[in-house]
């Protein structure tokens, strides 16, 4: 999938995290990458996160997957929507939808959720804390957008869905196959299927909250601390009132906390690991048989490219001019010299092939072998 008529620089300047944008079929050639039956099949699998939303009158009910195959035959004429998360991890053609959006950093990309809705199906007016591109795959969907929301915006009482109590429509459009709608964080929106066989692909982007960052960063620090790192005041002097917590004590206590929190290099390394942790870290993508370094070199030299696992997350941080940290699925690898261009290629391209005029070093092949045996790279993912 490639864009034919889309200016990413203009989009980032005028719309990214600012205002919605309707983009009429920007693809060179749009084709729907997944059938409704294939999506339903994924919703029946144990390892796939899915929900079935059914609607009666002005109320919505949510069922969490895996769904029994017979469930779809039991649905009546009332509107319903099937939502399946991270379909890009299971279907190569859906993963390909992400590639045109690589003008946004890898660490910001979350997953591709796919929905199928019957006529008038939807999930109700809501807002998200993240950016999303809504791509119409099959059929039509009417999208309405409203104003800006936040955590104080009133919600309806519902156990599973965050539905807005009030929704004032500011604008609306009907999207046809290939059309795309960008929604910034916090903007209220509502999508309703127009007719049958309505499929929408939602490419979501992660946006960690301050609360999430502080909580996880502190958890990481705590795991490395010991009980003998304690407050000390060997220069303690008598004070007029023993009930006072002195300014000197507060300064020392505050320093004990902030000097650990403010280490930028440690934070960068932690964040690289944190942000590259897979969405479903419990899933085991390792090959049935690990590969030896020599065998991997032979396969690469024969012209077989290594493919990046769509479930894996690759990013890097430059520590200095001659050192780069490569982060893959929550782990990091220190790269120097000829390893730096390789790490950059791994993050920028979804496949790695050996150039006939360039021989891979032993260190490079060793890294690729480890990533293969971890399941982050593969010769035949599909």
Domains in the chain, ordered, with CATH? 8-205 (2.60.120.650), 209-226+247-262 (no CATH), 293-378 (3.40.366.30)
Q: Which residue has the higher pLDDT, 294 or 1?
A: 294
Tokens at 101, concatenated: 């959006």
Peptide bond preceding 66 in cis form (omega within 30 of 0) = yes
pLDDT confidence of residue 88: 96
How sure is the predictor about 382, in pLDDT bands with cuts at 50, 70 and 90? very low
Q: Which of 152, 149, 206, 191 is nearest to 53 (CA)?
A: 191
Q: How many whole angstroms separate alpha carbon 367 and alpha carbon 376?
A: 11
The residues, ordered by sequence, that sit 6+ positions from 306 with a Cβ below 8 Å of its Cβ are 300, 351, 352, 353, 368, 372, 377, 378, 379
pLDDT tens-place string over residues 133-174: 999 999 999 999 999 999 999 999 888 888 999 999 999 999
What is the percent of the chain with per-residue pLDDT over 70, rounded to a whole number? Answer: 98
Question: What would the mean pLDDT of 327-349 be, rounded to a whole number?
Answer: 94
**DSSP 3-state assignment of 42?**
helix
Question: What would the mean pLDDT of 248-272 be, rounded to a whole number?
Answer: 95
Please, how many CA atoms are within 13 Å of residue 234, restricted to the half-sphere of its CB?
1
Tokens at 206, concatenated: 């992660």
How sure is the predictor about 321, in pLDDT bands with cuts at 50, 70 and 90? confident
Question: What rounded mean pLDDT belongs to the chain?
Answer: 94
Q: How many whole angstroms separate alpha carbon 301 and alpha carbon 299?
A: 6
pLDDT confidence of residue 221: 95
pLDDT confidence of residue 2: 85
pLDDT tens-place string over residues 46-105: 999 999 999 987 788 999 999 999 999 899 889 999 999 999 999 999 999 999 999 999
| Per-residue pLDDT at 303 exceeds 80 | yes
C-alpha distances out from residue 299 to 83, 272, 291, 309, Å = 39, 30, 10, 18
Total residues belonging to the chain:
382
| Per-residue pLDDT at 356 exceeds 60 | no
């Amino acid at each position: 999938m490639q864009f034919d008529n889309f200016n990413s620089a203009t989009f980032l300047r005028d719309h990214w995290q600012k205002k919605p944008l309707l983009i009429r079929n920007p693809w060179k050639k749009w084709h729907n990458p997944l059938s409704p039956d294939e999506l339903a099949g994924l919703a029946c699998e144990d390892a796939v996160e899915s929900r079935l939303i059914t609607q009666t009158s002005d109320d919505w009910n949510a069922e969490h997957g895996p769904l029994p195959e017979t469930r779809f035959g039991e649905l009546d004429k009332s509107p319903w929507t099937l939502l399946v998360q991270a379909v890009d991890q299971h279907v190569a053609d859906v993963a390909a939808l992400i590639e045109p959006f690589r003008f946004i950093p890898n660490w910001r990309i979350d997953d591709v959720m796919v929905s199928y809705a019957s006529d008038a199906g939807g999930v109700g007016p809501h807002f998200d804390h993240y950016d999303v591109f809504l791509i119409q795959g099959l059929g039509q969907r009417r999208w309405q957008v409203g104003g800006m929301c936040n955590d104080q915006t009133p919600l309806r009482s519902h156990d599973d869905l965050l539905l807005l109590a009030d929704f004032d429509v500011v604008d609306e459009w009907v999207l046809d196959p290939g059309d795309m709608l960008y929604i910034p964080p916090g903007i209220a929106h509502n999508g309703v299927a127009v007719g049958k066989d309505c499929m929408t692909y939602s490419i979501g982007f992660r946006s960690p909250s301050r609360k999430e960052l502080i909580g996880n960063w502190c958890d990481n620090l705590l795991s490395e601390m010991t009980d003998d790192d304690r407050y000390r005041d060997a220069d303690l002097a008598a004070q007029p009132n023993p009930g006072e917590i002195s300014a000197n004590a507060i300064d020392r206590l505050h320093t004990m906390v902030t000097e650990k929190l403010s280490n930028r290099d440690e934070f960068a390394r932690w964040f690289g690991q944190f942000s590259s942790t897979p969405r479903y870290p419990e899933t085991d993508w390792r090959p049935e048989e690990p590969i030896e370094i020599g065998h991997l070199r032979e396969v690469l030299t024969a012209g077989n490219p290594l493919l990046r696992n769509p479930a894996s997350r690759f990013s890097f941080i430059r520590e200095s001019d001659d050192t780069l940290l490569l982060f893959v699925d929550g782990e990091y690898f220190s790269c120097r010299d000829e390893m730096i261009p390789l790490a950059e290629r791994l993050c920028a391209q979804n496949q790695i092939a050996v150039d006939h005029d360039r021989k891979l070093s032993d260190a490079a092949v060793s890294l690729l072998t480890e990533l293969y045996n971890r399941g982050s790279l593969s010769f035949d993912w599909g």
